[in-house]
Structure 1
Amino acid sequence: MPSRCMLLCLSLLLSTGCATSRALCPQEGGRPWHEVQSTHFRIQTNLSPEAATTTALELEKHRRALLLAWGTDFDPPGTVEVILLRNLHELSEFTQGHAAGFAGTTERGPLLVMGGNGYLLEDSPDLRIQTHELAHYLSRFVLLRQPRWLAEGLAQYLETAHIKPSTNEVVLGRANGWNLGYVREHGWLDISELWAWDQKGLMSQSEQQWHYASSWLWVHYLFNIHPERMEDFQLRLARAEDPKKAWEASFKGVQDLQGELRTYVTSGRYSVLTMPLPPVPPQVDVRPMANADVHAVRALLYLRSPGERTGEQRLENAKREVAQGLKEEPTNVNATILATLLGKDTVPMEAVRALVKAHPDNGRAWDLLASRLAAEGEVKEAEEARKRAAELLPNDANILNSLAWHYAVTQEPAKGLSAAQKAVALSPGSSSILDTYAALLFQLDRCPEALGMQRRAMDMLHERTPDAARQELNQRLQSYHAKCGGTASAVTK
């Protein structure tokens, strides 16, 4: 039986461990939090500023390594959101030990979540999903149309990117061991079957695995055996050509691809691409985070983390964190936006107006006000709020898209065209943004352009896009076809 002293020591250990093993805000006994902004990443973290700065620069290197797939000069704009906790134990509060990290999206764009310093750069299979998502995000800046098999195959191809610490060289094209083992055991789908992936609905887990592994295999094989044709195929997609027609033009005259692929798998011989890593911008800004912002981060983690919690449990935890954040700072922008997303009725209009009054130069606060005004039918005031948000955040593609969609809803397409065009330029791979631009073009009777843009929107749907969203975009595409054929159809969103 343990002594009283042992029990007391255990109690002290548990109590102090609880204070240090959870990613809490400083007011609740946690470590200080900082927002670290590099050129292409915005990191919210409870790591020390020095460690967070190092990680930001490592992420910049990793991003630059992936971009080498399209040449040394390719460097698109945009910022990726990152939540970085001190260690995996802290992350397990949200994932319940089911992941060493994960990827998702927020209203700002892509989101990467990690536990520890620099884990993204290691060869952990648990964290390849983050590299996978980063590859998806970057590829959409150059490949303006992507059949699903290419999008998924290319992301998996780039998952294995590696930076040699000794030489600072990037290695692209290493074999994906899991996929290779899968196709050797189960075989692979023919390229004609992969082209049909875009039209498939829900699939079983085994069917999904087969499609993913086969897509990786085809991309890896084509890069190795037909590099010139593969480069031509990508150039055509970069010009937004129809993917199937681009494929037929690039691979015209090639005989028995399936037979070549069988030999490729059997031989196991392939080459990798090794290139020096170009320099990355060294600028990093660090600022302390408010306690309310930390609660907003925790709420987001509860909502988005993989694990066994039910939807109700996630919502309950997130609401608790947001409520605490607003208690500490009633006009905190991040906490108020999350509170609105969790339930429109939880944040009264007076609180949203107070938010804008407290933060008159915050574009996201104005965007939130615009959304609430639009929901209540205050169209003119909502328009002014949208315009103010776009003035404050002129390079935020989502804010510009919201302004453009306002004019699509009000049937004033000429007013929204400029904002839509700029949003597409800033985020050419966003289905939502392409969808908005297509709607405006449709309303302006620019039918061929609307059709082309809507097809792009369909091509760029993410693999986690719900079937209902795919169907919605497809229905609009069919309505555009009907208009081109002489039958007018309404556009709704």
Structure 2
Amino acid sequence: MGEFAPPRTLGFFAQSATGHRMIALSGDDPAGSVVLRHELGHHLLFLAIPRQPRWFAEGVACYLETTRYDRSRGQWVVGELDQRRLEFSARNPVSHWDAVLKMGPQYMSGNPGRAWAFETHSWLLFHYLANTHPAETEAFLGRLQARMDPVAAFAQSYPGMSEQRIGEGVHAYLNGGKYLQRFFSVAEPEVKIAVRHLSSAETHALRARLLASKMMPGWLRPARKEVALALAADPGEPEALAVDFEITERPLADHIERARTAVRLHPYDARAALLLAERLPSGGERHLAIERALELSQEDPDALRLGAFDSLAGGRFPEGLDRARRAQRLAATDPRALDVLAAALAANGRCAEASQVEQRALEVLPDGTPETTVRQLQERAREMAGGSLCVRPVVEEAGGPETTKHPR
């Protein structure tokens, strides 16, 4: 893990060329299952609530670390105490809770102990609020799910919850509070684990992908080295090419030729077809590459997203909307999937829905999104709201059939 992330990092998320999220865990850590629960908690919570304050995201993920299945009861146990975090909180009381509530991504940089302290303080705050103010916490969750601004959602859900009141309440909670457990009668899932050996090219490509997560300073040079080793073993390795396209500036024509090599060497790998489709200009070859990707992976959200745009460009509006809806169902919080769904709704005359979906795409943009991308989505959302990007249903005459004007 030390090659890919700062010291004492036990796990992190990365994203593959197909958009699937991967969890990297330290093989030397005996608490690997705890880290897995923490990271899965982040992933599942984000699917339900894309816009979260940092303290809430970390507090809930830490809260879920102690989740376990009690086979004697046939129930899941949630909310058990983490003794380490409890003792740390008692030894290191928070003097400024506003700093915890307002913390941004900067807690991830610098001293690893600082990040763990912030996570622990967030865990304690969520534990306190969930157990002593359950109705207010339920209301807070509902407002976050409704995409309300987190600061406003907190103020409306916990009226009068000042920094002083939080401090006093947490202090009392630590010194004799009731630490509730919650029990859920949900069947234990059947887990199937698939294990396969990776080729040398795949191994180097995967290492390049983890380095390209940018968890470590100086990541670029070793990432490029891993890409070079992968492509030396397999010039068409799709994951290695995807990383290379992201981290090395090359002419578009070079990207296209390399992607064609991937398709030639990996004709049954949807990732190769997608690499090519994403870079080709509009035309017959791009259409065929998209259809090939969909044939090889019918439930791939990126293939469906590109397929939706291809359908819209070809004037096949109902097909485009169907593909866009499927892409968004599979990647519910991906801003690109939401963007194509908004475009498909607009092309099918669903103006109000299109504007709302485009606004949601803006809300789930990840930290660090280029400002140009943000402005493009903002402009599209405004144009959809104003109707200039939207095809409006038009009634020909009273009592006559409804027809829809489509852009030519």
TM-score (norm. length: structure 1): 0.61
- 1:482 is displaced (CA, Å) by 5.1
Match of 1:273 among 156, 181, 184: 181
Q: 1:214 to 1:483 in 2, by over 3 A?
A: farther
Counterpart amino acid of 2:22?
L
Give the total of aligned pairs.
Answer: 374
- Match of 1:92, SS? coil
Counterpart amino acid of 2:232?
K
Asked if structure 2 preserves the Cα contact closer than 8 Å seen for 1:189 and 1:211, the reply is no
* Cα RMSD for the two superposed structures: 4.4
Residue 423 in 1 paired to residue 311 in 2? no
Counterpart amino acid of 2:170?
V
Identity %: 23
Match of 1:105 among 15, 28, 31: 15
- 1:226 is displaced (CA, Å) by 2.7
- Match of 2:98, SS? coil
Match of 1:135 among 25, 28, 41: 41
Residue 473 in 1 paired to residue 379 in 2? no
For each residue in 1:138-157, what CA deviation from the matched residue of structure 2 results, as whole angstroms up to 9, or x when unmatched?
A: 123334x5343575255444
Residue 315 in 1 paired to residue 220 in 2? yes
Q: 1:122 to 1:356 in 2, by over 3 A?
A: closer
Asked if structure 2 preserves the Cα contact closer than 8 Å seen for 1:184 and 1:265, the reply is no
For each residue in 1:419-438, what CA deviation from the matched residue of structure 2 results, as whole angstroms up to 9, or x when unmatched?
A: 21111111212233223322
Could you tell me which runs of 5 or more consecutive residues in structure 2 were left unpaired when the two chains were aligned. 391-408
Could you tell me which runs of 5 or more consecutive residues in structure 1 were left unpaired when the two chains were aligned. 1-90
Match of 2:350 among 434, 439, 446: 446
Match of 2:271 among 345, 361, 364: 364
For each residue in 1:335-378, what CA deviation from the matched residue of structure 2 results, as whole angstroms up to 9, or x when unmatched?
A: 343344444459664553343234332211111121232xxx24
Question: Which residue does 1:393 correspond to in 2?
Answer: 297
Q: 1:399 to 1:133 in 2, by over 3 A?
A: farther
Asked if structure 2 preserves the Cα contact closer than 8 Å seen for 1:148 and 1:459, the reply is no
Asked if structure 2 preserves the Cα contact closer than 8 Å seen for 1:153 and 1:218, the reply is no
Q: 1:403 to 1:181 in 2, by over 3 A?
A: farther
Asked if structure 2 preserves the Cα contact closer than 8 Å seen for 1:147 and 1:459, the reply is no
CA distance in 2, matches of 1:151, 1:402: 34
Q: 1:336 to 1:420 in 2, by over 3 A?
A: same
Larger RCO, structures 1/2 (Cα 8 Å, 6+ apart): 1
Q: 1:458 to 1:221 in 2, by over 3 A?
A: farther
CA distance in 2, matches of 1:165, 1:389: 43
For each residue in 1:80-99, what CA deviation from the matched residue of structure 2 results, as whole angstroms up to 9, or x when unmatched?
A: xxxxxxxxxxx334447563
CA distance in 1, matches of 2:352, 2:122: 31
- Match of 1:287, SS? coil
Match of 2:232 among 327, 334, 343: 327
Residue 116 in 1 paired to residue 21 in 2? no
Question: Which residue does 1:51 correspond to in 2?
Answer: none
Alignment of 1:331-350 (within 5 A): 331-343=236-248, 344-345=250-251, 349-350=256-257
Alignment of 1:75-474 (within 5 A): 91-95=1-5, 97=7, 99-107=9-17, 108-116=19-27, 119=30, 121=32, 128=35, 131-143=37-49, 146-148=51-53, 152-158=57-63, 160-163=65-68, 170-172=77-79, 174=81, 176-177=85-86, 180=89, 184-189=93-98, 219-234=126-141, 240=146, 242=148, 247=153, 251=157, 255-258=159-162, 261-267=166-172, 268=174, 269-275=177-183, 278-304=187-213, 306-308=215-217, 310=218, 314-343=219-248, 344-345=250-251, 349-373=256-280, 377-406=281-310, 414-462=318-366, 465-468=367-370, 472-473=373-374
- 1:389 is displaced (CA, Å) by 0.8
